[in-house]
Amino acid sequence: AVTDPGVQGIALFAETEPGEWITDARRLLRSELGPAYSITIITGPRGLIARTSSGKPRRRLMWEKWKEGKLIDATEHPADIPWATGTELRLSSAYLETLLDQVGGVVDLPDYAAVLLEGSIAEGFGNEGSDIDFLVISPGSDSTPTMPTVLFLDGRRVEVRTRSIGQLRAQLEQVAAPNPNLNEDVLNRCQRFLRGSLVRGENGSTDQSVIVDELRAVLSEDTLREVLASWWSERSVQALRYAIVLDALGASAEARGWLRDGIVQAAKSWLAGEGETYIETKWLPSQFERVGPGSEAMRFWKLSERDDAKLEDYLDLAADLGVPRINPDSAQARFARVPGVTTWALGSRLHVLRGSDVFVLSDEAAAAWRSVVFGRPVDGGCESAEEAAARVEFIGLGLVGLCWREAVADPSELPGPAVPITPALAMCEVVQPYTPIPAPHAPVLSVAGAARSADTAIELCSLPAERFVECAMRLVWSNIVLENAREDLAGALKDEQFRVARVAVHRLIAMSVRVLLSAYGIHPLPADVAPVATVRRLLPRDDRTKEIVSALENAVAAYEGEALTLESAKDRQQATNDLVGVLDHLVDVVRGIVASDDAAAHAAASFPASFDSRVGWRRTLDISYDWLRIGGYLDSDLPIDEAADLLTSGGAQPHLRDPEGEL
């Protein structure tokens, strides 16, 4: 096995005379290795193979000697590839016919089908590792599979695609007609067909070459040149404009990557205009060589190899390659709104919803988000590198869009329309917003919003938006009912209504579990039975769960104990005090786990004593309203009907004469 860079593969040393066995050996090795690896076959006299004292071949030594030319009487036997002469077809017709016969032995080829060789080899490019691509054109208009059949024949990888005449005609007509929304796949299919070489066109009395000629008349090569030159040019413009945005925001590495790709697409546009329409970029050097030496090629390769090239260098070359000249002024790049992206503040914590995704922002990222002004330049008002980096992240996540508005020389002239910036790398679709790994927080949320890390600017909540809001509204409502149960318990104990107190204890335990499960993202909630078993089953097995289970077990034991049934007033007073202490500890443990880690958010996440004062009730309404607004936006189910009234009133109580002065 050879592991040297660039020549990974197999070297076969044989102490024998060369002969027909070499072809068989090469075919066998190629079928095992595939086309990407090298095969070197070397023959020589007896004694060629160096051996250890025990008779084992010294493989590494032999390969090193071969590379250094120190193997005496050794002869290499290169592959006997039946290349055709000329540049239009890299493999001989006879070889292709033989290979096609092998294809027919394993693939059901339609009767009266024309077969073309397409792709890089048909273009005159390719090498021993290139696929041999056959296009089978069947009569009629049936829909044939898009996926090719991949075969390994004669040591080569062979792809067989099928298209009906109707399918091909539809694709050719699509490209021939004015169409700004052409995609790479349709263009590639048409280009490969137009530049393919007919391998088999006659079948009995039917000459399918006539059909091929008729199809090629639908889309001329001149029209394809114009379409591809324009298509590549537009893509180059988009990539270079996006690079200007990234450069303005200090993302130099990303900007350089887009500049280099943008200039590749500009080169592809120029080459298409010169008749080099092959779409894939891997044979770009060969396309330049075939056009012939020129300043364009020289400048392209020099710029590609430079590490100190500036933005203007790329834009100048792109313009010289025929792409519309782009003004490097970043003021032309503006922020744009993205449908389905909304902002929600919960206390001091900012959330951005992107469809069903929930992002929570750090304080610094929230400040950067608030500085974004739609319709204004992307770097306008940017005061720090951290703020610029946050804006780059907003763009990548798809929280903001980009548009380009051409500058005007005369201030009295109206600026042009804003055009969306939709970049795409060569041979790729338009870049889509990426989605990061969800933050692994547990609990997932609190009254103050989604849990977040102290050192991360933007995090994705692990819950989808609708479930996130449903859990939060149940979290808030369960806290309200918990506070109500505490109030009921205090009143019942004061008036010695012990059976009422027992009901209140049950509600308090049940609501504590609901608060806990909602904070962990569990929705819908299970029934309010067997609280200890429920928590053990649904929550992570960690130290916090052990603490919760312990507090719950004590609360359930107190609930089932004798505290509310003792006859002695003295004993009962002590028992009820112990009961209240156990329940208060349970609530403290639950809310301590649910609350946020940072101090400011912890204060915001602590739930008020809703029924103790007007201040507590007002804060309860404010917390509820914040979450109800998001729930209303998502059309979520509200926990109770009264919540709709709070939402309608804008968070105010409905019957007050002066809601602003209620405190």
Which helix (H) or strand (E) segment is 311 a member of?
helix 311-320
User: Is the separation of the CB atoms in 177 and 219 below 8 Å?
Assistant: no
Helix, strand, coil percentages for the chain (3-state, nearest 5): 50, 15, 40
Q: How confident is the model at residue 219 (pLDDT cuts 50, 70, 90)?
A: very high
Q: How confident is the model at residue 618 (pLDDT cuts 50, 70, 90)?
A: confident
Distance from C-alpha of 195 to C-alpha of 197, rounded to nearest angstrom: 7
First to last CA, the chain: 84
Task: Say which residue, 262 or 17, is predicted with more confidence.
Answer: 262
Question: What average pLDDT does the segment 437-441 reach?
Answer: 95
- The sheet carrying 333-336 orders its strands as 333-336, 401-404, 419-420
Of 291, 268, 288, residue with least CA distance to 280: 268
Q: How confident is the model at residue 185 (pLDDT cuts 50, 70, 90)?
A: very high
Compute the radius of gyration of the chain from its Cα atoms.
Answer: 37
Q: How confident is the model at residue 4 (pLDDT cuts 50, 70, 90)?
A: low
Q: Is the pLDDT of residue 96 over 70?
A: yes
Residues 6+ apart with CB under 8 A from 354: 338, 340, 341, 397, 398, 399, 433
User: Is the separation of the CB atoms in 71 and 41 below 8 Å?
Assistant: no
* Whole-number pLDDT of residue 7: 63
- Structure token digits, residue 146: 């898009």
* Whole-number pLDDT of residue 361: 97
CA atoms 632, 637, 641, 643: torsion sign = negative
Distance from C-alpha of 319 to C-alpha of 295, rounded to nearest angstrom: 14
Query: For strand 156-164 and strand 132-138, is the pairing parallel, antiparallel, or unpaired?
Result: parallel
Give residue-wise pLDDT tens across range 121-170.
999 888 877 899 999 999 889 999 989 999 998 878 999 999 999 999 99
pTM of the predicted model, to two decimals?
0.82
- Structure token digits, residue 433: 């917003």
Distance from C-alpha of 248 to C-alpha of 345, rounded to nearest angstrom: 29
**Chain-centre distance for alpha carbon 363:** 26
404 phi and psi angles, rounded to 5 deg: -125, 125
- Structure token digits, residue 413: 């002239």
Query: Is there a cis peptide before residue 443, judged by omega within 30 degrees of 0?
Result: yes
Q: Under DSSP, is residue 93 helix (H, G, I), strand (E, B) or coil?
A: helix
Q: Is the pLDDT of residue 414 over 90?
A: no
Question: What average pLDDT does the segment 395-419 reach?
Answer: 86
Q: How many helices (H) and strands (E) does the chain have?
A: 22, 19
Distance from C-alpha of 249 to C-alpha of 469, rounded to nearest angstrom: 34
% of the chain with per-residue pLDDT over 70: 88
* Whole-number pLDDT of residue 643: 54
Task: Say which residue, 169 or 109, is predicted with more confidence.
Answer: 169
Of 506, 511, 489, residue with least CA distance to 639: 511
Looking at this protein, which amino acid is placed at residue 335?
Answer: F
Q: Is the pLDDT of residue 86 over 70?
A: no
DSSP states of 560-595: HSSTTT-S-HHHHHHHHHHHHHHHHHHHHHHHHHHS
Lowest mean pLDDT among 390-404, 452-466, 640-654: 640-654
Q: Is the pLDDT of residue 179 over 70?
A: yes
- Degrees to nearest 5, angle at CA 503 with 498 and 509: 120
Lowest mean pLDDT among 24-33, 92-101, 203-212: 203-212
User: Is the separation of the CB atoms in 558 and 544 below 8 Å?
Assistant: no
User: Is the separation of the CB atoms in 584 and 632 below 8 Å?
Assistant: no
Q: Is the pLDDT of residue 638 over 70?
A: no
Give residue-wise pLDDT tens across range 570-610.
677 888 888 999 999 999 999 999 885 554 444 445 777 77
DSSP symbol at 596: -
Q: Is the pLDDT of residue 85 over 50?
A: no
- Structure token digits, residue 575: 């028992």
Averaged confidence pLDDT in the chain: 87
Q: Under DSSP, is residue 455 helix (H, G, I), strand (E, B) or coil?
A: coil
Distance from C-alpha of 504 to C-alpha of 555, rounded to nearest angstrom: 13
Q: Phi-psi region for residue 420, left (φ > 0), alpha (ψ -120 to 50) or beta?
A: beta
Q: Phi-psi region for residue 351, left (φ > 0), alpha (ψ -120 to 50) or beta?
A: beta
Most confident stretch, 24-38, 534-548, 621-635: 534-548
Distance from C-alpha of 342 to C-alpha of 123, rounded to nearest angstrom: 50
Detail the DSSP E strand segments found in 155-205.
156-164, 197-200, 202-203
Question: What average pLDDT does the segment 347-375 reach?
Answer: 94
Helices (H), 321-464: 363-371, 385-397
Of 451, 455, 448, 457, residue with least CA distance to 439: 451
* Whole-number pLDDT of residue 84: 43
Give residue-wise pLDDT tens across range 225-265.
999 999 999 999 999 999 999 999 999 999 999 999 999 99
Question: What average pLDDT does the segment 343-350 reach?
Answer: 88
Distance from C-alpha of 34 to C-alpha of 155, rounded to nearest angstrom: 7
* Whole-number pLDDT of residue 204: 46
Helices (H), 3-134: 21-33, 59-67, 93-106, 120-123
Of 461, 458, 341, 459, residue with least CA distance to 401: 341
